[in-house]
Chains A and B, each alone.
Chain A
Amino acid sequence: MTTIIETSIYSQTLDELLETQQLPEEIVQKKISAIQKFEELGLPSMKHEEWKYTYLAKVFKKGFTPGIQTNNNNNYSERIKEYLPAISSDKNRLVIVDGIFSKEFSQINTSTEYHISSLADAWENNIQTATELFTSITKQQDRALTALNSALCQDGVFIEVADECTAQIELLLIHTGQMQMSMPRILIQIGVNGYLSIAEQVILLENSSFSNVVSEIKTAEGAMIEWVKIQDPGANMYHFDSCYVQQATKSNYHCTTVSLSGELIRNNQFIEIQGENAHADLGGISILDNKEQTDNLIIIRHSAPNTTSNQLYKNILNGESTGVFNGKIVVDQIAQKTNAFQSNKNILLSDDAAAFFRPQLEIFADDVKCSHGATSYQIEDHELFYLRSRGISKELSRSLLMYAFAADVVEEIEDTLLREGVKSKIASKLKIEF
C-alpha cells in the first residue's frame, strides 16, 4: 500500500531546520517523531483507499525540493503586490510566501478579541496554546503528507479567537514557483461562541510549485468558522490541503472550496464532531479544463448525539479534467439522531472528462438519517433557449447556466462579502461580466 521513495532528503531538511530555528523542546520532539512516522509510512500508493485517483509518488518525483525557506522574495515583491489590493487599516491580511509568513506583506490589527501571529513567532515566544495545539488534532500522524508537514513546517499562522469574540481574516498562500515545496501550518483555536471567517486564496506566480498545507482547528462550545478557499493558481500547481477539525458542542464549521485551476488540487477535511448539536457544512465547486484534477476527501466522524453534517460537491469538467469526491461519514454508536448527507453533482462538458464519487457510510448507531446521491447534469435545450431568446449569445447562455449550477454551493456562504467574492471569481472564470 505504500511506495518507496528516497526520504533522506526530508530528514536532512529537518536536521537543517532544527539547527537554524529556535523551537520549544516540545515542538522539536513532535517534529522528530513526525519525520520518523513519515519515513515509516512512505507515500501512499493508489491502492490506498484515500488515494485511489491520485498518484502521489508521481508528484514527488517531479523534483520539488523541500529545503529551508528564507524570507527573501525581493525578486517577487512587485508580482506579489499585484495580488494585494489596498485594504482598510482595520482589516487583517495574512500573507504566506512559499510557506513562510511574510511580515512585509501582512497586516495584523492588534486586538483584545484575538491573537494572530506567524506560527514561527508564536513558537519563538513560547505561546503555550500554539505549542499544545500542534499535532493535538492530527494525532498519530497516520497520513504521510500530514506527518511530512508536521516535520518540516517552518512557519504558518497562529490564530486564537477569545470567547464571544470575532476575527475576520484574508489569507493568501502565495507560491513563487521555484520548484520548492512549501509546507505552512495553520493553527486555530476559537473560544466559546467565537467567530472566525477566513477568505483564502491560493496563488502561483510562475513555473510550478508544490504545497502541502495542514490546518488544525479546535473549537470551543458555540464557536463558528466560515472558511472560503479560492484555489485558482493556474495550471502548474500541485496543492495539497488538509484541515483537521475538532468540533465542540453547538459549534459550526463551514468550509467551501472553489477550485478553478491547478494541475492537481487535493482537499482533505477530517472532521471530528465531538459535541452535541454541532454542525459541519462542506461545499465544493470545481471548474476545470485540460488535465486538471481536484480530489476532495471528506471524512466526518459523528461522535456525539444530535449532530448534523452536509456535504455538497459539484464539478464542471471540460477537456480531460477529473473531479473526485470521496466522502465518508462515520457515526459512532453514541451519536444517535445524527443527520448526515452527501451529494455530488457533475456537468461533463467533454467525453474525456471524468467525475468519480465514492460515498462511504459507517454507521454504528441505529437512530440516524444518512443519505448520499450523485447525479450528472446536462444543460437542457429549453433552458438554453430561454436565455438565447433574451438576446444572449449561446456561449454566454451556457456560462450563465453553469453559474446557476454552482449557485447552491455558493449561496450557503453566510458572510455576504465572502459570498460575493466567490461569486465574482466564478463569474470571471466562466467569462461572465455582471
Chain B
Amino acid sequence: MIQINNLHVSIEGKEILKGLNLTINKGEVHAIMGPNGTGKSTLGNVLSGKDGYTISEGTVLFEGIDLLELEPEERAQMGLFLAFQYPVEIPGVSNANFLKASINEIRKSKDLAPISATDFLKLMREKMELVEMKKDFISRSVNVGFSGGEKKRNEILQMAMLDPKLAILDETDSGLDIDALRIVANGVNKLRTEENAFIIITHYQRLLDHIVPDFVHVMYDGKIVKSGDKSLALELEEKGYDWIKDEVEAV
C-alpha cells in the first residue's frame, strides 16, 4: 500500500528523518514507537503533506503514486488519513457540517454526486455509535469545548466516516483515560479490514494491548532501528528505550 524509501526530511535546516524505510501492505497494522523527538510525528505530518518540511532525499509511493507530489487534500482524497495529536477547533462549524464538507469534497474528487442528507445522517449515527458519542455531538462545533478524550474520539469518528485506506494515528492514546482508550481502540479494531492499513504512533505499550499490531518498529534518530512483532512492544515496555540507543550507538 505504501512504500517509504530512504526518506530524508529536515525542518528549518535541521534534519529530522535520516533515511527512513518502511513498507506497509493492506490488512496490516504497524506500530511505531520510540522516545520523544526521534521523528515519529514528523513522519505522520510529512506523509499527510504538512507544509514547512524540506524533503531532500527519498521516495514515498502510495498505491503506486508519488505521494510527495500531492497536496494534503489530494492525499486525503486518495484515502490517507491522519488522526491529529492536537486537533484544531473550528467554532461555528458543526461536526455534521464539517464531515459533510469533507465527504463531499472527497466524493467530488471522484466525480461522485454529493451524499444525500439521509444517507449522511444514517452513516453519522452508525459511526457515532462506534465511538460512543452522544447525539448532541452532531450539532456541536468541531472540537470546541471538547475534553482531550472527546477530541481524540472525534478523530476516530472522522476516520470512521472517511473510511481511509491508510490511517495514521499520531499519539492518539496520549492523555486518554482507560475508558477513552478502550473506546478509541474498539473503534480502530472494528474498522480494521483486509483492505486497509494503520500506522499507530505511540510512546506506550498500553494502546497496543487493545489494538494488536502485526509489526512494531522502533524509531531512533530519524530512522527505524529495530522491527519486530508485538512482543517487541512488550520488551520496550519492560526495558525502556536505553538498550535500543545503546545498540544503535554501538554499531
Contacts and interface: CB of A to CB of B under 8 A. Distances in A.
Nearest to A407: B92
Contacts of A382: 50, 88
A407 B73 CA distance: 24
Contacts of B88: 382-383, 386-387
Contacts of B102: 390-392
A389 B72 CA distance: 5
Interface string A292-325: 0000000000000000000000000000000000
Given A390-B76, A390-B162, A391-B102, A404 B84 contact: no
A387 B50 CA distance: 11
A408 interface: yes
19 contacts: A381-B50, A382-B50, A386-B88, A389-B48, A389-B50, A389-B81, A389-B82, A390-B73, A390-B158, A392-B76, A393-B105, A394-B71, A394-B73, A400-B90, A401-B90, A404-B92, A404-B93, A408-B91, A432-B101
Interface in A19-72: none
A408 B102 CA distance: 23
A388 B92 contact: no
A293 B6 CA distance: 54
B101 A388 contact: no
Nearest to A380: B88
B72 A388 contact: yes
Given A385-B72, A434-B100, A411 B92 contact: yes
B98 to A, nearest CB: 8
A403 interface: yes
Contacts of B82: 389
A238 B102 CA distance: 39
B92 A410 contact: yes
Contact of A434 (B49, B87, B101, B162): B101
A387 B102 CA distance: 8
A385 B105 contact: no
A214 interface: no
Interface in B81-117: 81-82, 84, 87-88, 90-93, 97-98, 100-103, 105-106, 109
A353 B98 CA distance: 29
A6 B150 CA distance: 66
B202 interface: no
B76 A400 contact: no
A404 to B, nearest CB: 5
A418 to B, nearest CB: 15
Contacts of A408: 91-92
Contacts of A432: 101
A386 B91 contact: no
A381 B51 contact: yes
A401 B142 CA distance: 11
Contacts of A411: 91-92
Contacts, number: 85
Given A381-B51, A385-B72, A386-B84, A391 B162 contact: yes
Q: Which 4 A-B pairs have the closest CB atoms?
A: A407-B92, A391-B76, A386-B88, A388-B72
B90 A388 contact: no
Contacts of B109: 391
A178 B102 CA distance: 45
Contact of A396 (B52, B91, B105, B162): B105
A120 interface: no
A389 to B, nearest CB: 5
Interface residues of A, number: 27
B44 to A, nearest CB: 10
Interface in B24-72: 48-52, 71-72
B172 interface: no
A400 B51 contact: no
Given A401-B90, A407-B93, 14 more contacts: A383-B88, A386-B87, A388-B72, A389-B48, A389-B73, A389-B76, A391-B106, A392-B105, A394-B73, A396-B101, A397-B73, A403-B93, A410-B92, A411-B92
Interface of A: 381-383, 385-394, 396-397, 400-401, 403-404, 406-408, 410-411, 423, 432, 434
B141 interface: yes
A260 B53 CA distance: 38
A58 to B, nearest CB: 37
A404 B76 contact: no
B90 A385 contact: no
A393 B48 CA distance: 14
A400 B101 contact: yes
A401 B76 CA distance: 19
Nearest to A393: B73
A391 B77 contact: yes
A363 B186 CA distance: 60
Given A388-B73, A389-B82, A404 B91 contact: yes
A423 B91 CA distance: 12
Contacts of B90: 387, 400-401, 404
B52 A381 contact: yes
Contacts of A392: 73, 76, 101-102, 105
A257 B97 CA distance: 24
Nearest to B80: A389
Contacts of A394: 71, 73
Interface in B144-183: 158, 162
Contacts of A389: 48-50, 72-73, 75-76, 81-82, 84
Contacts of B162: 390-391
Contacts of B103: 391
